[in-house]
Amino acid sequence: MAITFFTQSKKDNAPIYIRVRELNFDAKARTKLIIKKDRLVKGEIRYYKTVPSDQAQQKDKKQIDNNSLHIIKKEIESLRSLVYDALNSRKEGENITSKWLSDIVQSNAEDKSLNFHIDAFLEFKKLSIKPNTFITYKQSGDALKGYQKHLKKDVALINADNQFRVSFETYLRGRGDANSSIILYIGRLMAILRYAEKLKYKVSDDIKYFKDDLKKKKTLNIYLNLDEIKLINELEIKDERDDIARDWLVISCNTGQRASDLFAFDKKNISKDGNYLTVQQIKNENSRPIEIPLLPQVKEILKKYQGNFPPLFNEIPKTNYTIYNRAIKRVGRLAKIDEVSKTLVTKAEDRKSGVVDMKKYKQFSSHIGRRSFATNMYVKGVSAFWIMNVTGHLTESSFLGYIDQSRAIDKEAQRKAFLRALE
């Protein structure tokens, strides 16, 4: 008996078929899996290989594509096992036809999918936790579903293994999620799998390894004050790429969005009066769209580009973040924002992990604009509610843990307010 997988479409993205053959039957059926047709050769997954001439963005893209191919391979192995078991347990005289095979391939597909168990877990938690806490659980579920949309497939529960966890983490970092959020999402993925396991569903044995490489980082985050943002905005920059990066940085400091949302800004979403930009945040894709007031510095940049936002650096999102992070460090150096402050560095070949003194511009990253917006507005007395309405933070506790409160509080004003309260 032979069980094989193949494509037969002329389209680049082709559905995968399964075929079962023996002396007295030959049946085939279409599965729900889709793959680039040149990636499935003689029933085997063909991974992308890097070559010395590949640029960084090419290597990144191949890694992302290979993560997706690995998941498809696991799905194929699951289907092979499912069909093999069905063949061995079939009734005597039962005809093996294409319809029989199709029914087997589709059987129990729903309750064996990760999405089914995400929904089941959320329904279970909804009964036992506070509404605000449930929002964060829902956000974790949305992130997992968003990743599967990115993969263009529903992942089977059993295939949510450590490789899936790694590729999910890569996806989250690519869209600009903070390390603390990533740890939370991985933890919720583990909780979903543990819940399914308690209900006697088979899950991957890899769960116990999910958090091995994830550690909470100390929050020694910096932000740009209003004077520094003005200095950067007025800086003369000759290099075109650095000039574009500077403009995106100033926009970020005035809109408070993650890099993944920032680089999706489109002039078609600007209101007719030119005062608001409507954004559907990727991280909160099931929440309502956010209306961001367009502040003066942003409007000036839009004029510079004839009503458009600055161009992107590359077609590959992850590469845009890398180029942007490097460029804004150069911009900070040109602006001479070189105050020395404490920062946490991770382990590298020439150093150990730990807190070190570092010039401020060297600490610039894509999140600095979002953090600067939140902190500056809080310093100026804007209510947390209004700021959260723009940043998309779902709870005040998460927002207050995000801003630089050590600099956001006017200690003298606070002292006088306490004294007035005693009068």
248 close to 233: Cβ distance less than 8 angstroms: no
Summarised one tens digit per residue, pLDDT across range 33-51 is 888 889 998 889 999 998 8
**pTM passes above 0.85:** no
- Choose the weakest-confidence range: 198-202, 337-341, 362-366, 416-420: 416-420
Delineate the domains of the chain, giving CATH numbers in brackets: 2-106 (no CATH), 114-209 (1.10.150), 226-416 (1.10.443.10)
Task: Say yes or no to pLDDT of 397 above 80.
Answer: no
**Confidence label for 312 from pLDDT (cuts 50, 70 and 90):** very high
Task: Say yes or no to pLDDT of 82 above 50.
Answer: yes
The one-letter amino acid at 85: D
**What share of residues in the chain are helix, strand, coil (percent, to 5)?**
55, 15, 35
**Confidence label for 279 from pLDDT (cuts 50, 70 and 90):** very high
CA distances from 318 to 63, 253, 324, 334 (A): 11, 21, 10, 25
End-to-end CA distance of the chain: 91
**pLDDT at residue 407, as a whole number:** 53
**pLDDT at residue 272, as a whole number:** 93
**What's the mean pLDDT in 53-80?**
80
Sign of the alpha-carbon torsion through 218, 257, 253, 394: negative
Q: Which of 269, 367, 258 is nearest to 309 (CA)?
A: 269
Task: Say yes or no to pLDDT of 406 above 60.
Answer: no
CA distances from 286 to 133, 140, 142, 143, 275 (A): 16, 11, 7, 10, 24
Mean of per-residue pLDDT scores for the chain:
84
**pLDDT at residue 109, as a whole number:** 56
Helix axes 131-151, 162-174, angle to 10 degrees: 100
**What's the mean pLDDT in 148-158?**
85
Summarised one tens digit per residue, pLDDT across range 3-12 is 999 998 888 8
Largest CA distance in the chain: 97
DSSP character at residue 378: H
d(CA 386, CA 391): 9
**Confidence label for 263 from pLDDT (cuts 50, 70 and 90):** very high
Pick the more confident residue, 121 or 394: 121
